[in-house]
Amino acid sequence: MEYAIADTCFLIDWALWKRRDVIFDLFKVVFTPELVLREVRSERTLEWITDMLTRGSLALFTETPDILDIARSLVERSRMIPGLRGVDLPEAVCLAAGKLRGYLVLTENRGALMAVDLLEELRDVKVWRALEVIAEALRRDIIKTSNPRVIFKEYEDETHHRFPRRDLEVILDELGR
Amino acid sequence: MSLEDKLKKWRKLEAEAREIRRREADWEFIKKQPARIRAALKYYIEVGDIRGAARMALMELEDFRELLRKANVPTIV
Protein backbone atom coordinates (compact mmCIF):
# COMPACT_ATOMS: atom_id res chain seq x y z
CA MET A 1 0.00 0.00 0.00
CA GLU A 2 1.27 3.44 -0.80
CA TYR A 3 -0.72 5.43 1.70
CA ALA A 4 -1.27 5.02 5.40
CA ILE A 5 -3.02 7.04 8.07
CA ALA A 6 -1.74 7.08 11.65
CA ASP A 7 -3.61 7.67 14.89
CA THR A 8 -2.32 9.33 18.05
CA CYS A 9 -1.48 6.17 19.99
CA PHE A 10 0.67 4.95 17.12
CA LEU A 11 2.49 8.23 16.53
CA ILE A 12 3.36 9.06 20.12
CA ASP A 13 5.05 5.69 20.62
CA TRP A 14 6.57 5.39 17.16
CA ALA A 15 8.15 8.85 17.43
CA LEU A 16 10.27 7.62 20.35
CA TRP A 17 12.05 4.95 18.33
CA LYS A 18 15.42 5.78 16.83
CA ARG A 19 14.52 4.00 13.56
CA ARG A 20 11.19 5.84 13.27
CA ASP A 21 11.97 7.16 9.77
CA VAL A 22 11.84 3.65 8.25
CA ILE A 23 8.10 4.12 8.00
CA PHE A 24 8.66 6.50 5.12
CA ASP A 25 10.47 3.78 3.18
CA LEU A 26 7.31 1.70 3.43
CA PHE A 27 4.72 4.29 2.48
CA LYS A 28 4.76 7.11 -0.05
CA VAL A 29 2.83 9.30 2.37
CA VAL A 30 1.59 8.80 5.92
CA PHE A 31 -1.43 10.93 6.70
CA THR A 32 -2.29 12.22 10.12
CA PRO A 33 -5.75 13.64 10.79
CA GLU A 34 -5.91 17.20 12.09
CA LEU A 35 -7.77 15.80 15.11
CA VAL A 36 -4.76 13.58 15.85
CA LEU A 37 -2.26 16.38 15.42
CA ARG A 38 -4.17 18.41 18.00
CA GLU A 39 -3.54 15.66 20.56
CA VAL A 40 0.23 15.65 20.16
CA ARG A 41 1.83 17.84 22.82
CA SER A 42 5.44 16.86 23.44
CA GLU A 43 8.20 18.83 21.81
CA ARG A 44 9.96 15.64 20.73
CA THR A 45 6.95 14.28 18.83
CA LEU A 46 5.96 17.65 17.41
CA GLU A 47 9.48 18.26 16.12
CA TRP A 48 9.51 14.93 14.33
CA ILE A 49 6.05 15.51 12.85
CA THR A 50 6.97 19.02 11.72
CA ASP A 51 10.17 17.76 10.13
CA MET A 52 8.31 15.03 8.26
CA LEU A 53 5.56 17.43 7.16
CA THR A 54 8.26 19.72 5.79
CA ARG A 55 9.81 16.83 3.84
CA GLY A 56 6.40 15.80 2.53
CA SER A 57 6.63 12.30 4.01
CA LEU A 58 3.81 13.07 6.40
CA ALA A 59 0.69 14.96 5.34
CA LEU A 60 -2.21 16.43 7.18
CA PHE A 61 -5.53 14.73 6.60
CA THR A 62 -8.45 17.11 6.74
CA GLU A 63 -11.61 15.43 7.92
CA THR A 64 -14.20 15.84 5.18
CA PRO A 65 -17.96 15.57 5.90
CA ASP A 66 -18.19 12.06 4.41
CA ILE A 67 -15.34 10.83 6.61
CA LEU A 68 -16.79 12.51 9.70
CA ASP A 69 -20.24 10.99 9.07
CA ILE A 70 -18.77 7.49 8.96
CA ALA A 71 -16.45 8.20 11.89
CA ARG A 72 -19.29 9.42 14.11
CA SER A 73 -21.34 6.39 13.17
CA LEU A 74 -18.40 4.11 14.09
CA VAL A 75 -18.03 5.79 17.46
CA GLU A 76 -21.69 5.09 18.16
CA ARG A 77 -21.66 1.55 16.74
CA SER A 78 -18.55 0.63 18.74
CA ARG A 79 -20.43 1.41 21.92
CA MET A 80 -23.47 -0.69 21.01
CA ILE A 81 -21.70 -4.04 21.22
CA PRO A 82 -21.05 -5.09 24.82
CA GLY A 83 -17.44 -6.19 25.13
CA LEU A 84 -16.21 -4.07 22.23
CA ARG A 85 -14.03 -1.27 23.51
CA GLY A 86 -15.42 2.07 22.39
CA VAL A 87 -13.63 3.85 19.57
CA ASP A 88 -13.10 7.61 19.91
CA LEU A 89 -13.35 10.09 17.09
CA PRO A 90 -9.62 10.40 16.20
CA GLU A 91 -9.27 6.63 15.71
CA ALA A 92 -12.67 6.47 14.03
CA VAL A 93 -11.53 9.09 11.49
CA CYS A 94 -8.54 6.88 10.64
CA LEU A 95 -10.81 3.84 10.26
CA ALA A 96 -13.22 5.81 8.09
CA ALA A 97 -10.29 6.90 5.88
CA GLY A 98 -9.26 3.26 5.68
CA LYS A 99 -12.75 2.34 4.56
CA LEU A 100 -13.42 5.19 2.14
CA ARG A 101 -9.95 5.93 0.78
CA GLY A 102 -8.28 2.54 1.17
CA TYR A 103 -5.49 3.84 3.37
CA LEU A 104 -3.76 1.38 5.64
CA VAL A 105 -4.54 2.32 9.25
CA LEU A 106 -1.63 2.55 11.69
CA THR A 107 -2.82 2.22 15.28
CA GLU A 108 -1.85 1.05 18.74
CA ASN A 109 -5.40 1.40 19.96
CA ARG A 110 -7.04 -1.87 20.91
CA GLY A 111 -10.50 -0.41 20.37
CA ALA A 112 -9.63 0.27 16.73
CA LEU A 113 -8.26 -3.27 16.28
CA MET A 114 -11.36 -4.76 17.86
CA ALA A 115 -13.65 -2.62 15.73
CA VAL A 116 -12.03 -3.89 12.51
CA ASP A 117 -12.37 -7.46 13.74
CA LEU A 118 -15.94 -7.14 14.95
CA LEU A 119 -17.75 -4.58 12.79
CA GLU A 120 -18.85 -5.94 9.43
CA GLU A 121 -18.61 -2.53 7.72
CA LEU A 122 -14.85 -2.43 8.46
CA ARG A 123 -14.01 -5.92 7.24
CA ASP A 124 -11.95 -4.64 4.28
CA VAL A 125 -9.94 -2.13 6.31
CA LYS A 126 -6.31 -3.10 6.77
CA VAL A 127 -4.80 -2.24 10.15
CA TRP A 128 -1.18 -2.49 11.25
CA ARG A 129 0.41 -2.00 14.63
CA ALA A 130 4.09 -1.17 15.09
CA LEU A 131 4.60 -4.95 15.13
CA GLU A 132 3.43 -5.33 11.54
CA VAL A 133 5.24 -2.17 10.39
CA ILE A 134 8.57 -3.42 11.76
CA ALA A 135 7.94 -6.89 10.35
CA GLU A 136 7.36 -5.43 6.88
CA ALA A 137 10.51 -3.31 7.14
CA LEU A 138 12.43 -6.48 8.00
CA ARG A 139 10.82 -8.48 5.20
CA ARG A 140 11.80 -5.82 2.67
CA ASP A 141 15.30 -5.51 4.14
CA ILE A 142 14.71 -1.84 4.88
CA ILE A 143 16.00 -2.78 8.31
CA LYS A 144 18.93 -5.09 7.82
CA THR A 145 19.71 -7.50 10.61
CA SER A 146 20.53 -11.14 11.16
CA ASN A 147 18.53 -11.08 14.39
CA PRO A 148 15.02 -9.54 14.06
CA ARG A 149 14.27 -10.26 17.71
CA VAL A 150 16.79 -7.60 18.68
CA ILE A 151 14.96 -5.00 16.58
CA PHE A 152 11.60 -5.74 18.22
CA LYS A 153 13.25 -5.67 21.65
CA GLU A 154 14.86 -2.35 20.82
CA TYR A 155 11.44 -0.89 19.97
CA GLU A 156 9.98 -2.24 23.21
CA ASP A 157 12.83 -0.82 25.28
CA GLU A 158 12.75 2.60 23.69
CA THR A 159 8.99 3.08 23.74
CA HIS A 160 7.96 0.97 26.73
CA HIS A 161 5.47 -0.71 24.45
CA ARG A 162 5.03 -4.47 24.69
CA PHE A 163 4.24 -6.70 21.74
CA PRO A 164 1.91 -9.59 22.52
CA ARG A 165 4.28 -12.58 22.82
CA ARG A 166 2.22 -14.93 20.65
CA ASP A 167 1.94 -12.41 17.81
CA LEU A 168 5.65 -11.63 18.03
CA GLU A 169 6.64 -15.30 17.93
CA VAL A 170 4.42 -15.91 14.88
CA ILE A 171 6.15 -13.06 13.06
CA LEU A 172 9.65 -14.13 14.10
CA ASP A 173 8.83 -17.65 12.96
CA GLU A 174 7.57 -16.37 9.63
CA LEU A 175 10.68 -14.24 9.19
CA GLY A 176 12.54 -17.50 9.68
CA ARG A 177 15.28 -16.13 11.81
CA MET B 1 -15.67 -17.09 13.52
CA SER B 2 -18.88 -15.92 15.21
CA LEU B 3 -19.15 -12.59 17.01
CA GLU B 4 -19.28 -14.43 20.33
CA ASP B 5 -16.12 -16.39 19.51
CA LYS B 6 -14.34 -13.20 18.49
CA LEU B 7 -15.40 -11.48 21.70
CA LYS B 8 -14.14 -14.49 23.67
CA LYS B 9 -10.78 -14.24 21.89
CA TRP B 10 -10.51 -10.52 22.71
CA ARG B 11 -11.52 -11.09 26.34
CA LYS B 12 -8.71 -13.63 26.67
CA LEU B 13 -6.19 -11.20 25.16
CA GLU B 14 -7.42 -8.46 27.49
CA ALA B 15 -7.02 -10.73 30.51
CA GLU B 16 -3.44 -11.63 29.52
CA ALA B 17 -2.53 -7.98 29.01
CA ARG B 18 -4.09 -7.03 32.35
CA GLU B 19 -1.96 -9.62 34.16
CA ILE B 20 1.23 -8.22 32.60
CA ARG B 21 0.26 -4.63 33.47
CA ARG B 22 -0.51 -5.63 37.07
CA ARG B 23 2.74 -7.57 37.41
CA GLU B 24 5.05 -4.97 35.92
CA ALA B 25 3.52 -1.78 37.34
CA ASP B 26 5.61 0.15 39.84
CA TRP B 27 3.07 0.07 42.65
CA GLU B 28 5.24 2.17 44.97
CA PHE B 29 5.25 4.95 42.37
CA ILE B 30 1.49 4.59 41.88
CA LYS B 31 0.79 4.75 45.62
CA LYS B 32 2.63 8.07 45.86
CA GLN B 33 0.44 9.76 43.22
CA PRO B 34 -2.49 12.10 44.01
CA ALA B 35 -5.84 10.31 44.28
CA ARG B 36 -7.09 11.18 40.80
CA ILE B 37 -3.88 10.11 39.07
CA ARG B 38 -3.70 6.95 41.17
CA ALA B 39 -7.28 6.06 40.24
CA ALA B 40 -6.59 6.69 36.55
CA LEU B 41 -3.47 4.50 36.60
CA LYS B 42 -5.34 1.69 38.33
CA TYR B 43 -8.18 2.01 35.82
CA TYR B 44 -5.69 1.76 32.97
CA ILE B 45 -4.01 -1.28 34.50
CA GLU B 46 -7.37 -3.04 34.86
CA VAL B 47 -9.03 -2.00 31.62
CA GLY B 48 -6.28 -0.86 29.21
CA ASP B 49 -8.39 2.08 28.05
CA ILE B 50 -5.82 4.86 27.64
CA ARG B 51 -8.25 7.55 26.54
CA GLY B 52 -10.65 6.88 29.39
CA ALA B 53 -7.78 6.84 31.88
CA ALA B 54 -6.32 10.09 30.54
CA ARG B 55 -9.75 11.74 30.87
CA MET B 56 -10.03 10.46 34.42
CA ALA B 57 -6.60 11.92 35.22
CA LEU B 58 -7.57 15.22 33.51
CA MET B 59 -4.47 14.81 31.38
CA GLU B 60 -3.73 15.00 27.68
CA LEU B 61 -3.31 11.61 26.03
CA GLU B 62 0.41 11.99 25.35
CA ASP B 63 1.10 13.21 28.89
CA PHE B 64 -0.74 10.22 30.27
CA ARG B 65 1.29 7.92 28.02
CA GLU B 66 4.43 9.42 29.56
CA LEU B 67 3.01 8.85 33.03
CA LEU B 68 2.49 5.18 32.15
CA ARG B 69 6.18 4.94 31.28
CA LYS B 70 7.13 6.47 34.63
CA ALA B 71 4.82 4.03 36.40
CA ASN B 72 6.40 1.17 34.42
CA VAL B 73 3.01 0.17 33.02
CA PRO B 74 3.48 -1.27 29.54
CA THR B 75 1.01 -0.71 26.74
CA ILE B 76 0.27 -4.06 25.15
CA VAL B 77 -1.48 -3.99 21.80
Quickly count: other Cβ atoms within 10 Å of residue A139's Cβ: 13
Question: Is residue A173 in some structural domain?
Answer: no
Question: Is residue A16 in some structural domain?
Answer: yes
Burial tier of A82 (Cβ tally within 10 Å: 0-12, 13-18, 19+): exposed
CA distance A120 to A113: 13
pLDDT (0 to 100) of residue A177? 56
Question: Is residue A106 in some structural domain?
Answer: yes
Nearest CA in chain B to A113: B77
pTM score of the predicted model: 0.94
CA distance A154 to A152: 5
- Point out the residue among B3, B11, B74 whose CB comes nearest to the CB of A162: B74
Domains: count for chain A: 1
CATH number (domain holding residue A14) = 3.40.50.1010
CA distance A83 to A94: 21
Contacts of A107 in chain B (CB under 8 A): 77
Asked if A83 lies within 8 A of B10 by C-beta distance, the reply is yes
Range of the domain at A48: 3-128
Under DSSP, the state recorded for A125 is -
- Point out the residue among A39, A161, A163 whose CB comes nearest to the CB of B60: A39
pLDDT (0 to 100) of residue B1? 84
Contacts of A85 in chain B (CB under 8 A): 48-49
> ipTM of this model?
0.91
Tens-level pLDDT at each residue, chain A (177 residues): 799 999 999 999 999 999 999 999 999 999 999 999 999 999 999 999 999 999 999 999 999 999 999 999 999 999 998 878 889 999 999 999 999 999 999 999 999 999 999 999 999 999 999 999 999 999 999 999 999 999 999 999 999 999 999 999 999 999 985
